[in-house]
Chain A
């Protein structure tokens, strides 16, 4: 039926001329930003941003740079997959960065190895019973932490009507405190080989891509996705249509919490250590990725594909600034500009679309 040119009641339309998907705009922006860095590189630095210019390497692209771009956004990208769903319901999750910190600390405590180079693990948290456990234990413990944080967020938001901003801000502060208290601020290190394998090499990218694809499919093809969009679009309508809005919100925040937990496991595995300060500001990076990717902060509009493109734009900009040799302080400042800029863009998009109705 989608391919008919006849609508209902004798009206016709051209199915080939579908409205331009918003993701296309984000993709065009990504290309333009890449082209801009490429141009700056060629004109001022005599270097290419993305293409291989070294004769001793047989490749078209500068693969090391491409890998860094995607690797550095993949862990926050995993969080952004969850934050996207929260924002689609019209909510916000400020706790994900701190949940990463707390989850990394707790999961790592169950991932330690007893002997480091023949000596007892100097960073051991628990006794022998918690040493050299199968990798599934710390992973499940981590997922449990994320689930608990998400459940608490969701229950407070759904049943006490505390604004998501406040509820998740509370969780943000609480979880950061928990991660400091857990080991009195000491780092937790020396994981088992199995745990270390989770985030090795390009594994974070693989996990990010798999989760993004999975949740893109879920949001597009399942009742869960339909209800997520419906709640963000018109919560009263969703409620009157019989959607169990509160229960659904709890589910969405729980999933977001678990995705933050996965990010924590991958990150602590990749770094081979967990620290109380892990994941600071990740929540804002994740929100920025979603908003850059076209997720409306009002809810109801956007897709995981958009968020993935937003993550790539984020990565390209950060790498681009390193490429043009602006140091870390500038990068922080630029991140701030990106976040505010993305929200301004979102406001502008909202105004424009409300003018049309």
Chain B
């Protein structure tokens, strides 16, 4: 079991304290204390409805939390919306993709932060060529196969869409990348490509939170596993010191981490 060095704040990228979200009577997330260190790749696992996506949505301010604190990059943050989170350096691949079906690939990659030729406020002229070229460069790195990036997303396969969403996070330099089940819809090759992107991020020392149900993937790629159960964190495990059977036991509730005994 990993020891959390709570006194050592220097290398902490993200910390949540007592992060809580209630949807009316549904306690989707309850008192989550979570720490992510520089360069660390952490997996979040747990059954469907355990609160994993909810946790991400509070950090990225897609929704406003009921209670709790988020410390990012050394300061307590309360983003007003996802754009602020992005501007602060948190890139997210959301589980429901967040792509505009009727737009082409470059438009989606740069949605909300378009490259412009002249700044005229809302009527700024788009630099379509630069966005097209940056898209080609960004996508080639991911190894995804897309015949024509000027096609609308509507005409693309689930895997291609997923790769566009992932390329969007990879294309922009970020301080923290969060991926919510990025390979859930992907074929074997595409999954391998996404895993390569994750390895590249690891090499570059960029921290990552990965939500995944794929045990092999998590054990291959991640440093640490945080398990969610019924809205609460119930285990915090070093990959090197645990095994898949153990993780399953935590997920299903057969076991609970010592420091989370009050949860069960």
Show the binding face of A for B, using Cβ within 8 Å: 1-2, 7-13, 15, 19, 218, 221-224, 226-227, 229-230, 232-234, 236-244, 248, 251, 300-301, 353, 356-357
Contact = CB atoms under 8 A, between A and B. Distances in A.
15 contacts: A1-B132, A8-B146, A9-B143, A11-B146, A13-B147, A218-B123, A222-B122, A222-B125, A232-B102, A237-B98, A244-B83, A300-B100, A300-B101, A353-B154, A357-B101
A350 B122 CA distance: 30
Contacts of B186: none
Given A222-B125, A226-B107, A353-B154, A7 B98 contact: no
B140 interface: yes
B94 interface: yes
A223 B102 contact: no
B189 to A, nearest CB: 10
A230 B112 CA distance: 9
Interface in B8-60: none
Contact of B136 (A1, A226, A241): A1
**Which 4 pairs show the lowest CB-CB distances between chains A and B?**
A242-B83, A9-B145, A241-B112, A242-B112
A195 B139 CA distance: 56
A115 to B, nearest CB: 43
A248 B129 CA distance: 25
Contacts of B82: 239-242
Contacts of A232: 102
Interface of B: 62, 81-84, 86-87, 92, 94, 96-103, 107, 111-114, 116, 120, 122-126, 128-129, 132-133, 136, 139-140, 143-151, 154-155
Given A221-B128, A353-B154, 7 more contacts: A2-B132, A9-B144, A223-B123, A226-B126, A229-B107, A237-B98, A243-B83
Contacts of A1: 129, 132-133, 136
Contacts of B148: 7, 13, 15
A81 to B, nearest CB: 15
Contact of B98 (A11, A226, A234): A234
Contacts of A248: 122
Given A12-B147, A239-B81, A223 B98 contact: no
Given A230-B103, A240-B82, A224 B122 contact: yes
Contacts of A7: 145-149
Nearest to A218: B123
A239 B99 CA distance: 10
